[in-house]
Amino acid sequence: MFKRTILRALAALFALCALATPGAAETADEFYKDKVVKLVVGYSAGGGYDAFARFLAPHMEARLGARVVVENRPGGGGNVALNQVAAAKPDGLTLMLIGGATAAFAQVLDAPGVRYRVGQLGFLGRVADEKRVLVIGQETGIGSFGEMLDAGRPIRFGGTARTSTIGAGTAFVAEALGLEAQVIVGYKGSKEIALAAIRGEIDGFIPSDSSARRYGKEQGLAPVAVLSRERSPLMPEVPTFFELVDLTQEQAWWIDYADALFGLGRALVTTPDIPADRLAFLQRTAREVLTDPAVIAEAEAAQRPISYLPPEAVKRSIDRVMDGLSEEELARVRHVALEKFQ
């Protein structure tokens, strides 16, 4: 009797242990099956990041075995949402499509309200490169790059904030070209800036090449120069700054830094400190999606071209843009972005 009681107790104990540790042997792909994964976008619905996220969601969903739900959390140029994602539960169920340049640059400038650390995020890979294109509004009487240089008055550029890449990027352009300029900030996004340029409230701005291609179809906007040493594959007819003007080494530094910054593009990330096997699974899933010829062709047809970069390469680029500046260069970047073109 006593022996049977002991055996029953041991059997119950083994069963209880098995129930208490169901995930001990659970693989990452088993973990994601039938879960809900949030894909956060730090901007309103209808913009470029939102469109990219909604394009990627079903492809990620099919490979993860989870339901992928896009959540829009606008505010602070994407930094409000990134703060939230960086502080979210590290279970691998929260992803975000970030502007790599915006996230890294806000940290470079020590922008108010930035509580994340870019280097601590779990990077899944870059989704798309973002070459920037200087777009000029024709209502201002400036019809070309040369006319902008010879305008004889301050050039008015538009941006969302001085800490944003659109605002800072135009400041870098003005510094590189030696322009008398003013960066007017406070616009909610690139769509509102484009409308301001069409109405003649500002002279121009620097959207991504994919946006510039769409804006170029709008009456009164003209793409005039690419912020790079290479032309944009999306707009091969538009020359680079280096083709249009003979830049000194000092001037070229600003364009090269801006190009490296914007080259961080749109990247998929997750929260810091998720289990290593889940991070590896997410990275593998992202790579499978972003290198799938059928997905790439579908993205091209939707005018959302994919230019995948693996997570380790993205991390190296971020380290170079953020930590590769000397103290003198960092001081100059902050001065030009925040103070010079008020």
63-93 tens-digit pLDDT: 999 999 999 998 877 889 999 999 999 999 9
The mean pLDDT of 296-306, rounded to a whole number, is 90
| DSSP-assigned states of every residue in 301-339 | HTT-----B-HHHHHHHHHHHHHS--HHHHHHHHHIIII
Read off the tokens for 184.
């007017």
Burial environment of residue 153 by CB neighbours within 10 A (0 to 12, 13 to 18, 19 or more): exposed
Can you tell me which residue has the tokens 């998720």?
A: 274
Identify the H or E element spanning 190.
helix 190-199
Q: What would the mean pLDDT of 52-70 be, rounded to a whole number?
A: 96
Q: What is the bridge-based pairing of β-strands 204-205 and 133-137?
A: antiparallel
CATH number of 133-261: 3.40.190.10
What was the pLDDT predicted at 188? 79
Q: What is the pLDDT of residue 18?
A: 46
Q: Given this model, what pLDDT does residue 112 score?
A: 84
Give the mean model confidence (pLDDT) for residues 35-60.
93
DSSP string, 105-117: HHHHTT-TT----
- Within the chain, which residue ranges are assigned CATH 3.40.190.10? 133-261
Predicted pLDDT of residue 25? 65
The pLDDT tens digits for 110-156 are 888 899 999 899 999 999 987 899 999 988 888 889 999 999 999 99
Q: What is the pTM of this model?
A: 0.77
Please give the angle made by the CA atoms of 226, 340 and 103, to the nearest 5 degrees.
60
* Exposure class string for 220-257: b at 16+ Cβ within 10 A, else e: ebbbbbbbbeebbebbeebbbbbebbebeeebebbbbb
| 125 token code pair | 């890979």
pLDDT of residue 8: 55
Task: Please name the residues in contact with 36: beta carbons below 8 A apart, sequence gap of 6 or more.
Answer: 66, 67, 69, 93
Write out the two tokens for 207. 């959207």
Three-state DSSP class for 154? coil
User: What average pLDDT does the structure give for the chain?
Assistant: 88
Pick 165 or 31 by higher pLDDT: 31
How many CB atoms are closer than 10 A to CB 303? 11
Would you say residue 183 has pLDDT above 70? Answer: yes
- Work out the average pLDDT over 187-210: 88
Work out the pLDDT band at 205, boundaries 50, 70, 90: very high
Q: Is residue 20 predicted with pLDDT exceeding 60? A: no
* CATH 3.40.190.150 residue window(s) in the chain: 28-130+263-328
Q: How does pLDDT run across 231-270, given as a tens digit for each residue?
A: 998 899 999 999 999 999 999 999 999 998 888 889 999 9
Architecture of domain 28-130+263-328: 3-Layer(aba) Sandwich (3.40)
Q: List residues bridging with 98 in a β-sheet.
A: 267
Secondary structure of the chain: what % helix, strand, coil (to 5)? 50, 15, 35
For residue 84, what are its two tokens? 């939230």
Give the integer Cα–Cα distance in Å for 9 and 7.
5
Confidence of residue 48 (pLDDT cuts 50, 70, 90): confident
Confirm if 33 and 93 have CB atoms less than 8 A apart: no
Task: Say how far apart CA 262 and CA 264 lie, in whole Å.
Answer: 5
